[in-house]
Structure 1
Amino acid sequence: MEDEKKRQIITTLTAGLRDYLNEKQLAFILPYFLNYPMRLKIVHIKISYWGLCRYPRNKGDRYLITLVRTDIPGHFFLVFLHEIAHMLAHLEYGKEISSSHGKEWGTIAQNLVVKSAREGCFPDNELAVIARYVNRPVPLTNARMNEMQQKIMQLYKPETLMVSALPPDAVFTLKNGMKMKFVRKLRKYFECVEVHTGGRYRVNPDAEVVSWEKGSNKN
C-alpha cells in the first residue's frame, strides 16, 4: 500500500475511533486495516449482538466488521478483537474451519487478547479480569469471551442489568426502547417478542436492560 494512502487511512481511522479506543488500543488495531481486507461500521443500537463479522461474498470484497458503540474502551476493544479473530480464522482456514466459534477462532482470539494485554492496551483493573479468562492452556470459547466482555463493562457500570439475569416471566425494556418478553431460550440467544408490535427478535443474553417487571410468559 502506498505511503500516502496509508497516511490517509490512519488519519481517517484515528479521527473516527478516538472516541471509542485509547491510544494503545488504536495503535494495536490500525495494522489490521492496513494489512487486511476489512472495513468497519459502527452502529448505535444493539438488539442481538455487540459485534458482527460478515465474510466477503465476491472476489475483491472486504470483510465487514460491525460494532455497537459503547463508552467503555476496554469493552469495545474486546468486541473488536472478537470480530478480527473471525476474519483471521476465515482467512487462514476458510471452509475447513470446524465452526464459527471453534478451536481455530478460540486460539486466534486468545492470542489477540494476550498480545494486546502485553502491549499495554488495558489498565490494571481490566487486566485483573482478563487474566482469569486467558491464563489457561486452552483456546477461548465464545461463552468465556462474552463473559469477559461483560465483566469489563460491569467494572464501570456495576448497576448494569443483563437479559440473562432476568426471570422467565419478566417483561423488560432494552436500551433501544423496545419492550420485550421471553419466548424461548435458543442456543446462543433468547427469542423474544416485542410487546407492542408482536415482532420476534433474537436478543443477546448480555443485552442491557433499562427496566423490567414481572408479567406473564404467555404469548
Structure 2
Amino acid sequence: MDKVAVLSKYLPAEAAPVIAKWIDYFKCEFKISRNRNTKFGDFRPPQKGHHHRISVNYDLNPYAFLVTSVHEFAHLLTWDQHKGRVKPHGQEWKNNFKRMMGPFFEKGVFPADLHHVILRYLENPAASSCSDMDLFRALKKYDKASGAATVESLPLNTLFMLKDGRTFRKENLRRKRYTCLEVDTGRIYLFSPLAEVFPVSSH
C-alpha cells in the first residue's frame, strides 16, 4: 500500500511525503501503534535481524503525530551517527531534532499558534513533548472532542473519573501537580494538570 496515502490518515497531508521518504531512506520499520498511556512513540535500534523500528500511537492528532514521529527519527539519526555512545536526549539528539523539523516549517505545516510554540520548544527540546506544558497544551487544542477534560480545567472539589472507573475529587495545587482524593479509599494522589479525566455530574 502507498506509504504516503496511509501516513496522510495520521499526519498533515503535506508532511506525509517527507516521513515516507525517511522511512525508505533509513530502511525503517514504521509501525502505527495502539494507544500507550506512558508514551506517544518509541524508537528501537537495529538488533536481531531487525532494521530501525519506530512506533507512534495511532490516536494522536495529526500535529502531535508529526512532532512525535520527528522526535523518534531524530533518535534514529543520532543512533546512526553515534551508535548509542551519547545520551538519548543529549545535545546531539537536540540538534538533529531541530534540523529534522526544518522541512515542516518550510512547508508551513503548522498553524500559526502551534508554529510559535514549537519554535520556542526547539530552543531546548525536552525528552518528551508531554514534559513541556506549553507545547502539550498547544497540541491538545487539536485533539478531537472526547468528553474528557484536563485536571487543571476543573474547579476545585470537582469529582472526576478515570478510564478504569476510579473516582477522585480535585483538591489543591502542590507545586506543579494537583492533589486529588480517591473517593473509595481516601488516598491522596498527585495528578499532572494536563491529565485527561472525565468529570462526574453531581446530578
Q: Could you state the TM-score of these two structures normalised by the residue count of structure 2?
A: 0.68
- How has the CA–CA distance of structure 1 residues 149 and 12 changed in structure 2, closer, same or farther, with 3 Å as cutoff? farther
For the pair 1:151 / 2:120, whether they are aligned, the reply is: no
Residue among 87, 95, 98 paired with 2:84: 95
| 2:126 is aligned with 1:141 | yes
Q: 1:49 to 1:33 in 2, by over 3 A?
A: same
**Are 1:46 and 1:207, in contact at CA under 8 Å, matched by a contact in 2?**
no
CA gap of 1:171–1:210, structure 2 versus 1, over 3 A, is closer
Match of 1:117 among 105, 111, 122: 105
1:24 partner SS: coil
Q: 1:32 to 1:152 in 2, by over 3 A?
A: same
Quick one: distance in 2 between partners of 1:164 and 1:111?
Answer: 33
Identical-pair percentage: 22
SS in 2 for 1:128: helix
Structure of higher RCO (CA pairs closer than 8 Å, 6+ residues apart): 1
Q: CA offsets per residue over residues 54-95 of structure 1, 9 Å max, x none?
A: 12213x421111111235211110011111111111111113
The answer to whether the Cα contact below 8 Å between 2:160 and 2:197 also exists between their aligned partners in 1 is no
1:5 maps to none
Query: Take 1:204 and 1:47, find their aligned partners in 2: how far apart are those partners?
Result: 13
1:122 Cα deviation after fit: 1.5
d(CA) in 2 for partners of 1:62, 1:206: 35
Gaps of 5+ in 2: 168-190
Contact 1:107–1:140, Cα closer than 8 Å, also in 2: no
Over the residues paired in the alignment, what is the CA RMSD in angstroms? 3.4
**Cα distance in structure 1, aligned partners of 2:67 and 2:95:** 15
> What does residue 51 of structure 2 align with?
62
1:18-73 superposed Cα distances (whole Å, 9 cap, x missing partner): 21112211122121112102111112322211101112213x42111111123521
SS of 2:56's equivalent in the other structure is: strand
Q: Does structure 1 conserve the Cα–Cα contact (< 8 Å) formed by 2:160 and 2:198?
A: no
Following the alignment from structure 2 to structure 1, what is the Cα–Cα distance between the partners of residues 95 and 105? 15
Distance 1:102-1:209 versus aligned 2 partners, 3 A rule: farther
The structure whose residues are more often helix, as a share, is 1
For 2:136, what is the secondary structure of its paired residue? helix
Candidates 31, 48, 54, aligned match of 1:41: 31
Q: Structure 1 regions of 5+ residues with no counterpart?
A: 1-10, 182-202, 213-219
CA distance in structure 2 between the aligned counterparts of 1:28 and 1:93, rounded to whole angstroms: 23
Alpha-carbon distance in structure 2 between the residues aligned to 1:180 and 1:106? 38
Task: Using structure 1 for the length normalisation, give the TM-score.
Answer: 0.64
